[in-house]
Structures are given as C-alpha cells and as structure tokens.
Structure 1
Amino acid sequence: MNQITWLLLTYKVPPEPAKKRIALWRKLKGMGAVYLQNGVCLLPKTDDHTRRLKIIENEISEMSGDSVLLETVALDGAQAEKVVARFKADRDEEYAEFLDKCKDFEAEIAKETAANKFTYAELEENDVDLRKLQSWLEKIRKLDFYGATLATDARERLQACESLLDVYAKRVFEAHDENR
C-alpha cells in the first residue's frame, strides 16, 4: 500500500458567536474533512486542500482562535485503513441519503404516470428535481476520495432516474401530439 499523506488541522475557536464556529465546521465538512475528534480533522493532501486550509487557518486566527496545520501519515497500514474507512463511511452516508431521494423521485414519476398526469408543468418540475439529483451526486463524488462502497449504486440509480424521466417525457410529448 502506498503511503497516504494527509493534512491534519487542529483548531480551537471561541464558543461564541456560535454562528462562526458552525460556519467553520460546515466549511470543513463541505471540503470532505473527516473529524477524528472535536477540532481535529483530516483531508487528503492536495494542493487545493493545502491552499484552502491555509485560508481557513487565517479565518480561525481572525476569530481569535488557534490552529495548527500539519502534514501527516499513518503509523502503519492498519491505521491508514482505519482513516480511509472513516472517509468512505462519511461518503456512504451521503450516498445513502442520495439513494433515498432517488427513490422519492421514482415514486413521484410513478404517481404521475398512474394518474395519467402527462403535463409540461410536471415534466418541468421533474426535470428540475433530476438536475438537483445530478448536481448533488457530483458534489458527493468530488468528496469521495477513496471510492465509497455505495458510489456505483448511486451512479446507476441516477442513470435509472434519467431513463425514467426520458420515458415520462416521451409520454408527455405523445399526450400533446409533439412527436407527430
């Protein structure tokens, strides 16, 4: 196993205002950081992560906080696997939520089809929902640094949703004589 290098950020910020502390946490989670404990998080070492964490380090200082940014490696393969498993688990949580939303999307199309509701308004609404799903999966995928187990299921489920909407769109067009 190649040695994986991570960036380790430790920080402590004042408890108030909570808004700033929460914004910091959300920013780090939005980058895909894994928290080892309160105020201690890891990201894979990349130029982008290095740059963004240096900016965050400056923001912490402006909040009258304290931080240390280090480059680190695991002591051995077992420790590295533990960390990678944490990253995968975080992404799988997001993929599972995504898969639930795909189920909702499929149920909505099924409901409209069962009700013979083939209108442009419904098609447009479902198209907007599909674009949200596509965008959401892309965001998760960008943070899936180590190939979470549900990644393939999510990608396949999105393709199924896209196909389902294509079939629904054809029914809408047929209902309005668009294909003749």
Structure 2
Amino acid sequence: MRKWLVMSYNLPTEPSRIRVAAWRSLKKQGAVNIQKSMWVLPYSKENSTALSLLSQELEKNNGETIIMESIFLAERYEQKITSIYNKARSLEYEEIIDKCNDFFAEIENETSTENLTFAEAEENEEELNKLLSWFNKINVRDIFGAPLRAETEEALEKCKKIFEEFSDKVFDKET
C-alpha cells in the first residue's frame, strides 16, 4: 500500500480569494477533494512541500490547517481514492481532447478559406504549444495512468501532424 498526504483546512468566508487560491493550488497539485474539506494526494516530497507551503499561506490568512501522512486500512479504500484520482485526470484529459478538436476545426477552416499566412501559422503554433504544456502539467499529476491518457496523446500527435502540414502549405504559399 502506498503512503498518502491528507490536508484539511478551514478558512474565514471572506475574503473569498483565499478560498479560491487554496482550491486552485490543490487542484494544480492534483489533489482530490473527499468528504467536503479533506484533500488527498499520493505522497511525494514535492506534494509534501507544496502542502506545507499552502498551509503556511492559509494560516497567515487566519485559516486552520491539518496535514497528515496516511495509509488506507484496506485496499478497497485506496482503490476508491485511486478511482477518484483517475476520474479527475480523465476530466482534464477530456478538456484537452475537446480543445484538440477545436484546433482541428481551426486548421481545417484556415486551409479551406486559404488563409495561409505566417500570422495564422504563428497563432496556431501558440495554441499547439498551450495544448502540449497543459498536457504536460496533467501528465505530471497522472500518477496512476488515467484511461484517457493514451487517447489524449494520440489527439496531440494528430495536432502536431496537422500543424506541420498547415505550416508546409503556408511556407509553399509565401515562398
């Protein structure tokens, strides 16, 4: 059985920006929320450090925090949390796949309207780089290999290929 980190916190209702910042920080780290105010992460030095820093920040803002290292008493409990963890990653991967579909439609539109300019290529390259960066962030959090990882990787490879083809058409038109 693996070791886990558990964080629970209470914050004053105002200002809400502190609550939102805590939520964003935990989500970026890949934590999953269980039992309302309890967040769970697989143990790692990086996750432990991130939770400690967040705890300090929350306590500076009149919050109360508790951080624990934990193991589950039965495999079924760990599997339940692993499933929640994978579901959270799959939802993130679904968003990337949706954005990849938008990317395909954008390239198709630019190609069909023959809007083959350097500016369009540059804009689409920026969008591709955002998708790849986003995937890398999620992939780091995806410790258990969520089911949609492979499909997302395939969609991103297709994005790269389509972008290269588009860039070649732009180059051919402008040279």
The alignment's TM-score, normalised by the length of structure 1, stands at 0.94
Does 2:37 correspond to 1:39? yes
> Is contact 2:89–2:142 with CA below 8 Å preserved after alignment?
yes
SS in 1 for 2:116: coil
SS in 1 for 2:4: strand
Tell me the residue number matched to 1:57: 55
SS in 1 for 2:157: helix
Q: Deviations over 1:39-70 (max 9, x none)?
A: 21011110111111111121222121211111
In 2: Cα distance, 1:76 partner to 1:93 partner: 27
SS in 2 for 1:128: helix
Q: 2:104 aligns with which of 88, 91, 106?
A: 106
Tell me the residue number matched to 2:27: 29
In 1: Cα distance, 2:98 partner to 2:13 partner: 35
Tell me the residue number matched to 1:174: 172
> Is contact 2:5–2:40 with CA below 8 Å preserved after alignment?
yes
Matches within 5 A, 1:120-159: 120-159=118-157
Q: Deviations over 1:14-63 (max 9, x none)?
A: 11111111111111111111000222101111011111111112122212
Q: Deviations over 1:93-119 (max 9, x none)?
A: 010011000000000111111112211
The alignment's TM-score, normalised by the length of structure 2, stands at 0.96
Does 2:16 correspond to 1:18? yes
Tell me the residue number matched to 1:73: 71
In 2: Cα distance, 1:61 partner to 1:176 partner: 58
Tell me the residue number matched to 1:6: 4
Does 2:107 correspond to 1:119? no
Between the aligned residues of both structures, percent identity stands at 34
> Is contact 2:96–2:131 with CA below 8 Å preserved after alignment?
yes
Could you list the runs of 5+ residues in structure 2 that have no partner in the other structure?
none
Amino acid at match of 1:29: K
> Is contact 2:18–2:58 with CA below 8 Å preserved after alignment?
no
Tell me the residue number matched to 1:85: 83
C-alpha displacement of 1:173: 1.1
In 1: Cα distance, 2:60 partner to 2:167 partner: 52
After TM superposition, which residue ranges in structure 1, 4 or more long, deviate above 3 angstroms? Answer: none
In 1: Cα distance, 2:51 partner to 2:68 partner: 10
